[in-house]
Structure 1
Amino acid sequence: MHRVGPIHNDTTFTAYYTEQILAIIAKNPPHTSGWVEVDSVRFWDSTYVYGTYIETLAVECDTFGDPLSPDSVVCDTHTVLVCVDSATTGCSRALRFWWLPGFPHTFEASPQDSFPASGDSARYFFNHWTYRYTRSDSVFISDSTEDTYFAIDTMIGPGSFVAYYDSKWRITLIKQPPETLGYFLFFTPTDTDTVYGEWQYNFWSFGGETVTIGVSEFDILDVPGTTGDSLYRFNHWSDGGDLVHTIGPIESAVQETAFYDASMAILAIYFEPQRPGSLLFEWDLDTLDPCETRTMDVSDSVKVVNAGNVPIDLGLKVVETVPSGWFAGFYQGPDNFVLLCEFTDNNTPPVTFWPVEDYVKMTIDWSTPERFGPGGYNMLPPPYPPENQYDYMWLQFRAPSSTSIYGEVRIKVMVIARYHMP
């Protein structure tokens, strides 16, 4: 605006305008870390004008209002809508430029973006650019590239340039009270792990994924040579989910806490049917011939019952023979016998015993799904259903090929329990 005069006759004034075209550069999904370079000038995401990039089929406007107003918009003939407003409205960040037509331009996006380590809850990984602009009166460009850097030639009409990112969100798992026993587990479509020795653990999930999380049910502090071991038993998750459950789809950072009840660990077993006043169980074989095999039948069956409050594994060993002189082993021989054992949940004896996995030594061996198995391993405590609290113990005895001892021989076998550690 300026002042002219005095004017004494007809006068013509001409205002000359320079044409400029609007270019919008944005990231999708919106975030405030990383950068873009436009014509070799770097713009950090945290300094962008706030705005939202939205795909739309409507073509209703081609003007740009006050950039400080929440309802200022830009619509061009290439179906690009950008709203520019304040941080409180939830819009994304966008760059806007007014360029002279007819010039080339370059664009580059940061390959991966994340917040500072102290508050790193979201990470973004570049996927591709999409861009739309008018190159000439008869040529409209709509294309994409997976390169972080690209260049365009002559641009004479409005354009939009959007860098698309794959988002990853932090998922935090916590145990309460804090203790480093047991484990966390998680499964995502792209990752899986079981993590020990942590009371808090972070992992990452792509946006939109459904994730499985879980923790150990029983965490036990076992200090050799001491009594009063600590037991932490799972109670509930902060989101109300099961011990192992799914969360998602993941659209933001997640924190879930597993709450435990703390108490003293109790390790106890007994035989059923019980003998009054005794924890002993006897299997009377009567008289055997050399190399004879004798197997428990249904009338001999005995259960080993978990009477504590922790899951257990069972162990076996031959303690001694009375009188001494016989030995337990893998082969029958002079004064050498073979004792086989299987723990099962069946009330009938196994059809077959497996000498390699089932023989009882004179040193302790612990049950696994294969060794003395399939039972005797991870036997659960109350209040689990009774059928989960016990296993049947089935024995098979193979007599020595010859003996230097005559008369009755007693073979003492110890059944012992330990914590089943997760």
Structure 2
Amino acid sequence: MTVLLPDAQWRHRSGLDGLLAALDAGGGKARYVGGAVRDGLLGLPVNDLDIATTLDPQDVVDRLKAAGIKAVPTGIDHGTITAVLPDGPVEITTLRRDVSTDGRRATIAYTDNWREDAARRDFTINALYADPLTGAISDYFGGLPDLEARRLRFIGDASARIAEDHLRILRYFRFLARYGDNELDNLAYDACVAAANSLMALSRERISDEMLKLLGVAAPIHALRLMVEGGILMPVLPEVTMAGVDRVEALMTREAESGVGPSALRRLAALLPADPALADQVGARLKLSNKARKRLIVALEPGIEGEAPRALAYRVGVEGAIDRLLLDPAQSVSALAPLEGWTPPTLPIGGGALIARGLEPGPNIAKALQEVQRLWVAEDFPDAARVAELTDQTVSKFQRARQ
């Protein structure tokens, strides 16, 4: 029985029909592949759309230009062209087969054989193709029954597939967290454990990208526990222990209770020991952006006893305050309520107002302004009229001190 891809809104994106016509999908030269097919079959939202084609890359470029579609050669050396459509980009990749691999990159050759292209992919559920016009699914390695059973399997021998690309170790656990609801494939898991040291050969950017994707899924805990038990992360993230996984689990409970959306960076902070300096070192090792590293540091810095949530948010930013309050089990999740929809205000007075009240220009201006700000924050950011009163009091205090 032929399995069909369900109709969905993503299949009717603006400009998609023109793109498929340009690629001669009706003549069998183009099919949807990978995540769009997998998630489409599961009824999940489809964001990234990939098309596989028997056309060579230059032919794709020529056809798109002739159809008035912008073509960007984002990965032309690997056979990938990006078509820019009104509702987002679509990646189009010529069918490929591996000529040689070294665990980090592959030398490929183009082919017109769909099974050869499927054979170089990682998991059976990622090697499904769909005819864009009829929705008919092509399955060369048992991906459909695996998808139905929520079973994650490598295509062919797991050890051989990992040797081709070491990143597949981390991808295995990410996909296991998202799709693998069934029993663990022990052969695949054992292959990942045996090859864990090969992760050291990967770029830190690829490692951090996969780790953040894993931490961002709805239910990463089981996969994280398996990774720690098997020593998967020991070569690249030895700081991660089972205690860190427990902290992530507790954080996820608090995220759910508070209604705050999940954050991969916040969960990474929970996964690491509560040491800002160590977190910064890990962030540097993973080649995270300066902004991301700063967020890890802020999330793990010790708090000021008795500091109100809005005072904290004024000092470190709302995002940082939410991270810290969620990560601190001593804080009730109700502490987040004052931050909902709140933007830290700006002190509605400056040094000029102090001078106008008779305070002499000089170092005392900055000190007095800091005092006004301290009082303003302590009173939970009262209005300008109250700030004027606080300013009068502060100026009087500083003037008395000079007498």
Give the TM-score band, short-chain normalised: under 0.3
Structure with higher helix content: 2
Structure with higher strand content: 1
TM-score by length of 2: 0.24
Which one has the largest radius of gyration? 1
**Bigger RCO (CA 8 Å, 6+ sep):** 1
